[in-house]
Amino acid sequence: MNQINLKSLKSFYDLKSRLLKVFLTFAVLVIIGIWSLEGSKSHINPLDIIAYPMMVTIFSIGTIVLYLYPKSLKYIENITFYTFAIYCFANFQAMILGMPFFIIDLYSVSTFSQWLPMIYVSAFIMLETRNAIIASVLFYLSLVCSTFLYEAMQYVPDFVLENLYPAIKNICFAQPIYILMVLGIAVLKEQIIEVNTEAKDMTIAATTDYLTGICNRRFASQSLDKFLNLTKIENLPLTIFVVDIDHFKKINDSFGHDIGDRVLINIANFLRHNLRDSDLLGRWGGEEFILILQKTDLQTACHLAERLYKQNSELIHEQVGQVTFSIGIATSKADDTTDSLFKRADAALYRAKQTGRNHFEVDEQLEQQEQ
């Protein structure tokens, strides 16, 4: 389960990293576009003459660092958010105090109001929900406190008080709605992620053998049925191995079940590492495994079995030493069902067990056809 959750978490952070790269790239392009537009109209705030190149530089460096060092995602998110937050805060202070480095007109005020809600959106995208709530509330309080404190202390110029303050107060009253809406979306997102993760965990639990991490019997049986039907449609061979660890009861009795479990895990990993991506490995029960080899004829399957035995002869298990296994092999026929195919492979396995173990036997019917 922990491995599954870690895998889901990695996918989530990979997605966040890709989105942040796109966001930063577009942010740089947008800032350059606005900078060029305002420069061509000779309508650029003195503050922005400094802020625009700084933000372009910071966001560009952030994008490059993110490509080179993906693990820096958290730091880049924080730097991006706080850079934007400081810029908006400085603009707001300059606007309400009527400072000379903010041009107070309809264009400047409306564009600032347009970008201000992005603070809350970026907070809940880039920061953890708890930190996003804290950052959003603190930023909002800085706006409200500045607005009403400066007015009470009579720091606000008369022309700002008369022309802008009604709009500024309106902005202050509207901000909590943005925060609550984005918070609601963030909570829903977390609930959806949690539900999806639980659903994936339940699916994995229902289809995976808890000890070895490979497919369980239920999923292997369903997969065999599906692959067999596909084989009949495509008219391509399908071969299965039924693998049984030799003298496994003796291993358990001599070394204990913990060592026996370790042997099962090692054998499962050994088999898994020697299969193609299109093949399927499952634990059929106890010390028995099934290998489903799609688009594989008998000759190719026998070559694989020989390779498995050669490599297994070099595998040494802790305390136990060398562990062998027997294999029964059967290739699908036109009239095969899942049960009939498995029974033929199981019969071949039985013959391998009866004739000395540590080797493979092929389904007798197929062997006679080959002859």
Q: Residue 3's pLDDT is what?
A: 46
User: Does the structure show a pLDDT above 80 at 264?
Assistant: yes
State the angle between helix axes of 165-207 and 73-96 in degrees (0 to 180), rounded to the nearest 10. Answer: 170
Which amino acid, one-letter code, is at 107? Y
Three-state SS at 119: helix
Q: What is the CB-side half-sphere exposure of residue 352 using CA atoms within 13 A?
A: 27
Give how far Cα 47 sits from Cα of 80, 89, 100, 245, 303, Å.
19, 12, 9, 75, 74
Sorted by where each starts, the structural domains of the chain and their CATH numbers stand as: 2-205 (no CATH), 217-370 (3.30.70.270)
Instruction: Lowest mean pLDDT of 112-121, 189-198, 285-294, name the range.
Output: 189-198
User: Does the structure show a pLDDT above 70 at 270?
Assistant: yes
Q: Residue 207's pLDDT is what?
A: 86
Closest CA to 87 of 122, 60, 57, 50: 50
Which residues are the active-site residues? 287
pTM over 0.85: no
Q: Residue 69's pLDDT is what?
A: 92
Mean predicted lDDT score pLDDT of the chain:
88
